[in-house]
Copies of this chain bind each other. A is one copy, B any other.
Amino acid sequence: MTKEKILKAAINQYSLHNYHGATMKKIADEVNIKPASIYFFYKNKEELFLAAFKWILESHFTYIQNIMGEVIEQPILKIYQTIIRKTVAYHSERQNETNAYISLVNSPPAEIKPFLHHHMQHFDSWMEQTLTEQMQKKYPDISEEKIIKITKQFLIIMDGIFWEINLYEKEELERQIEYAINIIECLLREEVK
């Protein structure tokens, strides 16, 4: 119970102030305990943040997996649309986790780099594989090469939108999402014919 609250507070503090700015005191304050008490649950700051980062990455992963599970039977464009929209929705609603995630990915504390790298690779290949699998099932005529291409292109667009989550205001972001979906439509129209 308390342990979990500490974890959440750590994430929040990390998202607000980065690793170096997220102090044990601030975390403790957020949970309404004293800094010394954190050490009953976590060996030290590094361990706490390792746990926090794992939690962020895993819950993000799980969430996307769930979405994927829900839409997997739908037509391919619908899948793409849903992933983009839900991902944005997820991250817009959890700005602090997203912030933490972004700075984590971009400038990870040295201790975490190997773990992070492994996770990213895992996530990416899972996403790629799942998407290509579905396309192959739905469009058995299209060459594997083309399918991989379209999947990778989708990832570029996803990444572009992801980067923009933090930069644009809500309305403008909506518009960008529409534009992004238009791109995918365009790609599919051409490739799938």
Residues 153-175 of chain A: 1 if any B CB is under 8 Å from the residue's CB, otherwise 0? Answer: 10111111111101100000001
**A15–B20 CA distance with the chains assembled, in angstroms:** 13
- Secondary structure at chain A's binding surface: helix, strand, loop or mixed? helix
Q: How far is the CB of A181 from chain B (nearest CB, A)?
A: 10
Q: Verify A183–B187 contact, CB threshold 8 A.
A: yes
**A3–B70 CA distance with the chains assembled, in angstroms:** 57
Residue A5 at the B interface, CB < 8 A? Answer: no
Residues 105-129 of chain A: 1 if any B CB is under 8 Å from the residue's CB, otherwise 0? Answer: 1110000000000001000000000
Q: Verify B156–A161 contact, CB threshold 8 A.
A: yes
Specify which of B103, B120, B190 is in contact with A186 (CB 8 Å cutoff). Answer: B190
Given contacts A18-B19, A18-B20, A182-B149, contact A106 B156 (CB under 8 A): no
User: What are 24 A-B residue pairs whose CB atoms fall within 8 Å in the complex?
Assistant: A17-B20, A18-B18, A18-B21, A18-B103, A20-B20, A102-B106, A103-B103, A103-B106, A103-B107, A105-B167, A106-B166, A152-B175, A153-B182, A153-B183, A156-B164, A156-B176, A156-B179, A158-B160, A159-B159, A159-B161, A159-B164, A160-B163, A186-B187, A190-B190
